[in-house]
């Protein structure tokens, strides 16, 4: 009886898990290719407006993002009169520093690119749809002053009925 039992366990086939890692690696590469790394922590809340006539920005590396929206955290700097934050890189900016900060931001963005790429640099404005235009106008004037003229209003694709 005991002998019979022993033989039976021996014959139980093991599941081959060798190809499992290959499959997972395939997944991994797939995700690495189609996604891009999140570089900054977004500190403002924003829902992009939707539009139909949108274009994809060609190169990720030539895009700098400016976020405008309600702050997620109450301690963030806001710009009067509404409680709206403007975020460049990793921080929200103060009203009084706005001009210099934007200037620095643009200068740094241009510095880190080659001369050829400087003209292709696009500033993507990610703005919450409930924000009043005054904030966007301020940023636009600053961009113009600093000769950063290529912009893109980030939008989502609207599903047409």
Residues lying near other proteins in the complex (CB under 8 A) are found at 17-18, 20-21, 24-25, 27-28, 31-32, 34-38, 49, 51-57, 60, 63, 122, 124-125, 127-134, 136-137, 140-141, 143-145, 147-157
Of 93 and 125, nearer to other proteins (C-beta) is 125
Which residue in 73, 77, 84, 88 sits closest to 40, CA to CA? 88
In the complex, the smallest distance separating the C-beta of residue 135 from other proteins, rounded to whole angstroms, is 8
Q: How many CB atoms lie within 10 A of CB 88?
A: 21
Give min distance, CB of 91 to other proteins, in A.
20
Query: Judged by CB, which is closer to other proteins: 107, or 149?
Result: 149
> Measured from the CB atom, is 28 or 107 closer to other proteins?
28
The CA distance from 27 to 148, in Å, is: 39
CB of 24 to other proteins, least distance (A): 4
Instruction: Quote the least distance from Cβ 7 to other proteins, whole Å.
Output: 21
Nearer to other proteins, 6 or 60 (CB): 60
| Both structure tokens of 105 | 């931001």
**Which of 2, 81 has the CB closer to other proteins?**
81
User: Contact, 70 vs 132, CB < 8 A?
Assistant: no
**C-alpha to C-alpha distance for 27 and 21, rounded to whole angstroms:** 10
CB of 72 to other proteins, least distance (A): 16
Q: Which residues contact 117 (CB under 8 A, 6 or more apart)?
A: 62
Spatial distance between the Cα atoms of 77 and 18, rounded to a whole number of angstroms? 53
């Amino acid at each position: 009886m005991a002998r019979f039992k022993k033989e039976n366990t021996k014959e139980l086939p093991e599941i081959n898990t060798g190809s499992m890692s290959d499959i997972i690696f395939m997944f991994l590469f797939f995700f690495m290719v189609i996604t891009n790394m999140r570089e900054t922590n977004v500190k403002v809340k924003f829902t992009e407006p939707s539009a139909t006539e949108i274009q994809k920005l060609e190169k990720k590396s030539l895009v700098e993002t400016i976020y405008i929206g309600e702050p997620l955290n109450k301690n963030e700097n806001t710009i009067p009169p509404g409680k709206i934050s403007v975020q460049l890189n990793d921080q929200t900016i103060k009203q009084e520093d706005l001009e210099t900060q934007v200037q620095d931001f643009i200068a740094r963005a241009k510095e880190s690119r080659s001369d050829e790429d400087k003209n292709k640099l696009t500033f993507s404005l990610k703005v919450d749809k409930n924000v009043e235009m005054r904030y966007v106008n301020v940023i636009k004037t600053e961009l113009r002053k600093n000769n950063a003229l290529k912009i893109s209003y980030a939008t989502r694709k609207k599903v047409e009925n």
